[in-house]
């Protein structure tokens, strides 16, 4: 009976992918056992977009997968259009699956005459037709509350736990380069058997430059290896400053980990020139082109996390775990998304 209900729910599902990351969408569909529905794009000579969903959505549950990476504005407009199409074509429900929500950095008014763009984009996503949003590891967790529809804020922590449990973590300290994200690093350290954890007190000088002033809590002194864990790496300024400060404490080997591997500017070139970095671990919330994939880079898939969240929503199952903090006494539940 349960299998029959699930088959019926899956048969009423339509999953479409925007052009930002079709490979992740295919992975999600593979986990769900449903086809990725076709979609047609065209750009006119005046640069206007034309989008058509290639399959009926009337009275179906529509899930639109679109990560908001560069070119950010194009991918946002595409998302708005796809949501609007699904709503106006009579979909029973419309779900925006946004693995990386780039504007989450713009969460407050910290200068005169600027936009709180994260709130603006959340409003536009809802106004376009989204009745439910799924995203992962928002840079500013309070952005979760900017959406006026149910929002599942997922974490990739089970993927990282599974990966690092296979590594030799003797003489390792888990480091958060930003005190604001120390809770995530603390949960990872706990799930990896109670590793020591340190957090840096950084000051941002500009978009590309940060300064590490001091350490909060335990100083990362007397350890050989640091696992530096952050939500995202863009130009890498925070990571490079953390590595510099950790070297002053005597650390000589490094592993760099993040959920969203943006690697903008000269980040990849700078990482490639640092032999002390043994491994760079990220996920596939953002498509990473071959030219940015270093030999020591590992890309973990979050397709299973999103697929399980989609399955729970389609089946009307409880998603209580999605809104619970990572259970430190129950580490490593592969394939389950949990809210941060």
State the catalytic residues.
Answer: 202
- List, in sequence order, every residue forming a beta bridge with 254; answer none if it has no partner: 226, 277
Write the DSSP assignment of 158-216 as a string of letters. HHHHHHHTTS--TTEEEEESSGGGHHHHHHHHHHTTS--EEEEEEEE-SSS-EEEEEEE
- Residue 207 CA to residue 80 CA, distance in Å, equals 28
Find, among 308, 312, 313, 305, the residue nearest to 283 by Cα: 305
SS3 content of the chain, % helix, strand, coil (to 5): 35, 25, 40
Contact present, 183 and 320 (Cβ < 8 Å): no
DSSP 106: -
CA 195 to chain centre: 24
- Residue 79 CA to residue 98 CA, distance in Å, equals 9
């Amino acid at each position: 009976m349960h299998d029959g209900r699930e088959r019926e729910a899956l048969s009423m599902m339509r999953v479409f992918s925007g052009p930002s990351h079709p490979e992740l969408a295919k992975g999600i569909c593979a986990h769900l056992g449903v086809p990725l529905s076709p979609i047609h794009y065209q750009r006119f000579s005046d640069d206007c977009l034309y989008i058509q969903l290639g399959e009926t959505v009337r009275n179906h549950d529509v899930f639109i997968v679109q990560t908001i990476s560069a070119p950010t504005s194009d991918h946002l407009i595409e998302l708005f259009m796809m949501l609007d199409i699904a709503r106006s074509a009579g979909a029973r429900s419309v779900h925006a699956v946004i693995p990386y929500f780039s504007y989450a950095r713009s969460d407050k008014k910290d200068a005169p005459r600027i936009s709180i763009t994260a709130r603006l984009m959340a409003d536009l996503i809802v106004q376009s037709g989204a009745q439910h949003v799924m995203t992962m590891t928002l840079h500013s967790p309070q952005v979760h509350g900017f959406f006026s529809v149910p929002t599942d804020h997922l974490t990739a922590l089970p993927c990282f736990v599974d990966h690092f449990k296979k590594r030799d973590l003797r003489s390792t300290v888990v480091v958060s380069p930003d005190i604001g994200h120390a809770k995530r690093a603390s949960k990872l350290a706990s799930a990896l058997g109670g590793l020591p954890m340190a957090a840096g007190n950084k000051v941002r000088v500009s978009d590309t430059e940060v300064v590490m002033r001091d350490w909060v809590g335990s100083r990362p002194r007397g350890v050989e290896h640091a696992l530096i864990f952050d939500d995202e790496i863009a130009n890498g300024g925070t990571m490079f400053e953390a590595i510099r400060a950790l070297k002053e404490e005597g650390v000589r080997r490094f592993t760099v980990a993040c959920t969203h591997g943006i690697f903008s500017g000269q980040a990849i070139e700078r990482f490639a020139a640092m032999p002390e970095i043994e491994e760079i671990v990220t996920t596939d919330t953002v498509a990473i082109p071959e030219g940015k994939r270093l030999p020591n880079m590992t890309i973990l898939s979050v397709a299973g996390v999103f697929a399980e969240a989609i399955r729970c929503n389609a089946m009307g199952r409880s998603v209580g775990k999605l809104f619970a903090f990572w259970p430190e006494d129950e580490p490593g539940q592969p394939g389950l998304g949990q809210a941060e």
